[in-house]
Amino acid sequence: MIPGKRPKLIATDLDGTIVPHLGPISDRTIAAFKKAHAEGIEIFFVTGRPPRWMKEIKESFGFGNAICANGAILYDLMNEKVLEEWLMPKEVQLDIVNRLRKHLPGINFAIEYGDEFHREKDYNTKWDIGLDNIGVDSIEMKIDLPAFKMLGRCGNNEFTSDQMLEIAARELAGIANITHSNASESLIEISALGVSKGQTLAKMAERAGLTAEDCVTFGDNPNDFSMLEWAARSWAMSDGHPDGPKYAKFVADAHYHDGVAIVIEALLELPA
């Protein structure tokens, strides 16, 4: 039994939460969000993805707000326009690189700003092949502008993503925000200090005159934990990171069982 009233805002992570690792978003999930939207509930798609990866979401739903790059970008999904950004200055990026090279042997970097993605030659990528086929010898060669995200990957798999997160969070305390969205990739994601999904979502809710009590959130990985912790009602995916239930109030069925859709269908039965 879900407590409370029907939410005024639903915020969800994408990959591994409503977007399957293999295959399209399910019809049931799309229908649940469409019904919520028709009932006047604000929908926020909150993701680690950059804006250039959001066409699938626009085409699948045709409505909604977007927070991209783990909270670094407020994005007008329908008009494909960046509205606000919270960026890392060049000197901070250089400091991050210097510190992590000392404490994470074998780490390689990529950075994102504007529509650009740049990587070191030894940074192996699965998702951006074609955007930067060559790479550079050192990422410092491409630290030209404030960035919305940096990524660090240990290609030798000496460290897990969780281990990398623990080390980087310690070494970059007070300098940047560190998270990850894939436990099996030896990959961390770095944002400006004070930037996270939860913090940006809280700003958007406040602008709309809403509080954490009015909002529900869904997510599966550490980059979602801040918004799972913030919302009064939140669901970690049962097939997500094992620490998810520490931050969420409830647990949803696995994403491949339409866990989010099942919860939304129940939420819409609550009194307004």
Among 192, 209, 240, give the residue marking a domain's end.
Answer: 192
Task: Work out how many domains the chain is built from and give that number.
Answer: 2
pLDDT at 128 over 70: no
- 15 shares its domain with 61: yes
* Number of DSSP helices (H) and strands (E) in the chain, helices first: 8, 13
Measured CA to CA, the distance from residue 171 to residue 198 in angstroms comes to 22
Residue 251 domain boundaries: 9-85+196-267
Q: List all residues 6 or more positions away from 272 whose beta carbon is below 8 Å from its beta carbon.
A: 5, 6
Considering the domain boundaries, does residue 168 fall inside one? yes
* For the chain, percent of residues with pLDDT exceeding 70: 97
Considering the domain boundaries, does residue 272 fall inside one? no
Residue 250: C-alpha distances to residues 4, 40, 96, 228 (Å): 14, 24, 35, 10
State the chain's mean pLDDT as an integer: 95
- Residue 111's DSSP bridge partners are 118, 150
Average pLDDT over residues 57-86: 98
- 180 shares its domain with 47: no
Q: List all residues 6 or more positions away from 17 whose beta carbon is below 8 Å from its beta carbon.
A: 218, 219, 220, 224, 237, 240, 255, 260
- 25 shares its domain with 148: no
* For the chain, percent of residues with pLDDT exceeding 90: 91
Considering the domain boundaries, does residue 111 fall inside one? yes
- 111 shares its domain with 145: yes
> What type of residue is 248?
A
Helix (H) or strand (E) holding 12: strand 9-12
Among 152, 167, 192, give the residue marking a domain's end.
Answer: 192
Considering the domain boundaries, does residue 46 fall inside one? yes
**Interval 207-263: pLDDT, tens:** 999 999 999 999 999 999 999 999 999 999 999 999 999 999 999 999 999 999 999
Average pLDDT over residues 152-172: 93
Among 192, 215, 237, give the residue marking a domain's end.
Answer: 192
Fill in the DSSP letter of residue 14. Answer: -
Considering the domain boundaries, does residue 165 fall inside one? yes
- 111 shares its domain with 183: yes
Measured CA to CA, the distance from residue 141 to residue 156 in angstroms comes to 23
Q: Choose among 158, 156, 187: nearest CA to 70.
A: 187
Residue 262: C-alpha distances to residues 44, 74, 133 (Å): 18, 28, 41
Q: How confident is the model at residue 1 (pLDDT cuts 50, 70, 90)?
A: confident
Q: Choose among 108, 112, 151: nearest CA to 131.
A: 112
**Interval 210-224: pLDDT, tens:** 999 999 999 999 999
